[in-house]
């Protein structure tokens, strides 16, 4: 094991990503459906340019994502509608 190998293995941070600090990369999927209008969705975060580590995926409601990053929610919906046809 050398330092370079360890860095690849530990490429994910121990902390969950959050809005205001980290930049979301994409919506990964639906974790839980709460009701007909609200779902909990998993968000993947971009790597931190300073540390090179990616924050852990975190879960947010589609209502919050719609306010904060509607383009990522739209990309998720579009990719899933096309793939399921």
The span from the CA of 36 to the CA of 52, in Å, is 38
The phi and psi torsions of 78 (rounded to 5 degrees) equal -65, -45
Q: Are 44 and 57 in contact (CB under 8 A)?
A: yes
Strand partners, 12: 54
Helix (H, G, I), strand (E, B) or coil at 42: strand
- Segment 19-75, tens digit of pLDDT: 999 999 999 999 999 999 999 999 999 999 999 999 999 999 999 999 999 999 999
Q: Which residues pair with 30 in a beta bridge?
A: 41
Burial class for 32, CB neighbours closer than 10 Å (0-12, 13-18, 19+): exposed
Q: What is the pTM of this model?
A: 0.78
């Amino acid at each position: 094991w050398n330092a370079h190998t360890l860095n690849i293995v530990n490429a994910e941070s121990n902390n969950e990503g959050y809005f205001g600090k980290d930049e979301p990369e994409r919506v990964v999927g639906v974790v839980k459906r709460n009701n007909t209008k609200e779902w909990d969705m998993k968000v993947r975060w971009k790597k931190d340019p300073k540390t090179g580590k990616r924050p852990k995926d975190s879960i947010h409601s589609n209502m919050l994502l719609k306010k904060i990053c509607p383009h990522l929610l739209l990309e998720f919906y579009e990719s899933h509608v096309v793939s399921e046809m």
